[in-house]
Structures are given as C-alpha cells and as structure tokens.
Amino acid sequence: MGYTMENITQRERFISALKKEAVDKIPVCAVTQTGIVDLMELSGAGWPEANYDPEKMATLAIAANELAGLEAVRVPFCTSVLAESLGCSFDKGSFDTQPYQLDFPCKTKDDVKNISVPDDIIEKPRIKTVLEAARIVRERVGDKTPIIAGLIGSAATAFYLSGATNYLMWCITDEEKFKSLLQIGTEACLKYASALYGHGVDAIVIIDSEAGPDILPPSLFESMVLPEYHSITSQLNGLKILHICGDTSDILDHMASSGFNGLSIEEKVDIRYAKQIIGQRSAIIGNISPSATLLDKSPDIIKKEAKQCIEDGVDIIAPGCGLAPHTSLDQLKSLVYARDEYYQENG
Ligand SMILES: [Zn+2]
C-alpha cells in the first residue's frame, strides 16, 4: 500500500480494517447516523435543514469527525432519502427528530405493479442533496478521511413502499408481490450506491433493519432477502457494509455469506459469538449501545464498555446503531478516548 503504520491516515486505516487487513489500532467511527444536538449547535448546521441542504449536511457530518474525533465522515442523518425518491412522503422532522413517514404508495397489491425505479432516480432532489453533500465533504476534508454513506436496502425499501401491515402480511401471503418490492429496493439501491461511490464515498452502509429477525422470520431472510444481497454485493465494486438493527444472532451466518465487507451489529449481539460465526468473512463493526450506554452512561462506563468491546474483537469500534440526538459531545468523545486508552494500556 506504500505507507507505514506510523503515517497511516484515518482513511487508510478504515479501509484496511474493513478489509480485515492488519492495522496499528482499530478505527473508531460511526457507520450509522451521527447528528447530535451538541454538534448542530457548535457547527451551526442543524436538523431539519441539514437533512435537506447539502452544505449543512456536509458541515454537520464533518463536525462528528473534527469536533468529536470520530474517524470518518458519515452522511446522511436519516433513512428517508431513497424511500422519498420512490414516492413515499415524509414529514421533515425537527431539530431533534428525524424525518418520519406520512404516506406510502402501495396500499393494495395492485399498486405494486405501478411502482418502478425511475431511470433518473439519482436526479431526485433528496438523492442529489446527499450526492452533493458527499462531494462537498470530500472537497473539505481532503483525501485522508474516509466518507461513509448510508442508504436503505431491499427490505427497508419494500417496507417503506408498502407500509408495515402490508409488508408483514405479504411476506407470508404473497411471496411474488413481496419479491417484486424487494427487487425494486435492490435496483434503486444499486443505482444510488454507484452514484455515491462516484461522489467520493469510500464505503456505503446498507441500513436494512426490516430484514432482521425482529421483523422478518429468518427462513424468509434466507429465501427472499439473501438473494437480493448477493445481487447487490456482486454488482457493487466499492466497499460495502450491512447494518441490521436488533438481535441478528440467528441470521449472522447468512449475513456473513452475503458479500458485505463489514457487518454493523447492535449490542444485543455478543461480539465473541459473532466473531465465532463470522470468522474472516466480514469485519465486525459495533456495538456500543447508543441509547443504554452512549446517551445515558458516564464517560467512565462508556470507556469500560468500549474497551471490553475491543477486547472481545471488534474490527471497528462504533455505536451499535444511530446516535440519539441528545447524546452529549463529551459522551461521544469518550468512545474515541476509550480506543486511545486501550492501546496505551495494552501496548
Ligand atoms: Zn440499527
């Protein structure tokens, strides 16, 4: 690679860790949302504007790197971008709430045939905003900092398009319609992800919690969702991460075989167990609880948990899911301090 461990950049370290190559120390970052009120106040870029304005999105995202010390810049701060671009409608949310869904297009099974991925989907306003934000971030941070972009995956897209009730019903009663919705998600995801790589993004993270055991039976994950993931990972040349909320223990083996470089897991999954199942197939990213730990606990307890997480063998230390907006900057920084202290204490 042409660098020594002494002058390795955050970007090189992140990429190496994601490829499970040797690193001097593991990266500390967030692959899920990083917008917190403290950073909004310090940077002058807050929600809801930072979800809709590329300059503000870039400014708030960079603040998590420059002010909190997280070793990546992550955009955007919500999961509504692709869903809105496919015809769902959202309320813009507020300074401390993400956009939330108001309406969805597939009220009945007949509606599914009317949904398709527009040829010009990357020209849709929400997507253009994120692409432009990524471009601005790269321009501002230079080439030494990794950029991560999140987008929803096949299952989450199907969920947003059909609504919770239809999603939970059709996955059992009408596999054909369910499959069509998943495929729409896959196609949209591929187009959007390719454009993100083209705008300076180093790694995409597919947020697909509606594929997880909390919502979808593992047997359906295997028969319906896994083929979509294979389709996504085989067609995307860049680095890719999969994030599924909740306890994913029962589908970890399949997740690890789906072709993602990294798997982002929540605190409900035991890291040592995950390591056993995943082996060398994917990097493990996680899994400090954003609500039980980062939002609520003192810096000392956060550091203790984070050090244990490193000891247990994570490849990238990160919050297990999106940060709660009222997480304080000090709490977030203690995650970074924990990683630094761990290497001081353990040589
Ligand atoms: Zn999550």
CA of 247 to the centre of ligand 1 (A): 10
Q: pLDDT digit string (tens) for 88-116? A: 999 999 999 999 999 999 999 999 999 99
CA of 238 to the centre of ligand 1 (A): 22
Q: Which pLDDT score is estimated for 49? A: 98
Q: pLDDT digit string (tens) for 16-54? A: 999 999 999 999 999 999 999 999 999 999 999 999 999
69: left (phi over 0), alpha (psi -120 to 50) or beta: left
Question: Is pTM beyond 0.85 here?
Answer: yes
CA of 208 to the centre of ligand 1 (A): 8
CA of 135 to the centre of ligand 1 (A): 26
Q: Which pLDDT score is estimated for 323? A: 98
CA of 214 to the centre of ligand 1 (A): 11
Amino acid identity, position 12: E
Residue whose token pair is 């992140």 = 14
CA of 169 to the centre of ligand 1 (A): 23
Q: What DSSP designation does 94 have?
A: B
Write down all domains in the chain, each with its CATH number in brackets: 5-345 (3.20.20.210)
Q: How far apart are CA 230 and CA 306, in angstroms?
A: 32
Q: How confident is the model at residue 1 (pLDDT cuts 50, 70, 90)?
A: very low
**Among residues 86, 91, 79, 89, which one has the least CA distance to residue 130?**
79
CA of 104 to the centre of ligand 1 (A): 22
What is the arithmetic mean of pLDDT over 225-230? Answer: 98
Q: pLDDT digit string (tens) for 275-326? A: 999 999 999 999 999 999 999 999 999 999 999 999 999 999 999 999 999 9
Sign of CA dihedral 223, 229, 230, 235: positive
CA of 346 to the centre of ligand 1 (A): 30
CA of 155 to the centre of ligand 1 (A): 14
Q: Which pLDDT score is estimated for 264? A: 98
The distance from CA 42 to its chain's CA centroid, rounded to whole angstroms, is 24
Kindly give the residue spans of alpha helices, DSSP state H, lying in the chain.
10-18, 37-43, 54-66, 81-85, 125-141, 154-173, 175-198, 218-220, 226-235, 252-256, 271-278, 299-312, 329-345
